Amino acid sequence: MAGTYLLGPCGGNGGGQRDMDISAGNRILKVQLRHGHAIDAIQIMYRRNGADVWTGQWGGGGGQFSEFNLDDDESLRSIRGHYGTFAGVSVVRSLTFVSNKRTYGPYGRQEGVAFTLEAPDKRIVGFTARSGLYLDALGIYVA
């Protein structure tokens, strides 16, 4: 998608590469997380070409389940978080999502290196990540 750029990813170097298809000007609808001492997993529902699409679950099945839905007139503008060592690997430890209307989170533990991925004059249209048993790293596509 023209005018789209990547911020991040932030976190560790492990895990397999994950990406959303950002070719059609997506709108993020829902975010599901599994979290505890770290972010175990993330899964995103988004609208692409008029159809609601889920990413796979990026990460493992442990931790507490949380989710939030975005209103029709709401879009994500930034993500704050921490990454650091957990269970011997560098992973995302916490995430907070900020929209044009409210803040969701924090999820996980705010321990380690703090990071912010911010698009104040734009909106988040997609995510990229690395994951295995945990969410190793997370980045955003903005447009």
Q: Who has greater pLDDT, 121 or 24?
A: 121
Task: Give the rounded percent of residues in the chain with a pLDDT score beyond 90.
Answer: 91
The burial of 2, by beta-carbon neighbours within 10 Å (0-12 exposed, 13-18 middle, 19 or more buried), is given as exposed
pLDDT in tens, 32-45: 999 999 999 999 99
pLDDT at 1 over 60: no
Domains of the chain, residue spans: 5-142
pLDDT in tens, 108-125: 999 999 999 998 889 999
How many angstroms separate the Cα of 22 from the Cα of each of 18, 52, 100, 125, 140?
Answer: 12, 13, 21, 7, 11
Say which CATH superfamily domain 5-142 falls into.
Answer: Jacalin-like lectin domain (2.100.10.30)
- At residue 2 the predicted structure's pLDDT band, cuts being 50, 70 and 90, is low
- The answer to whether the beta carbons of residues 120 and 100 sit under 8 Å apart is no
pLDDT at 80 over 90: yes
Model-level pTM? 0.95
Residue range 97-104: average pLDDT?
98
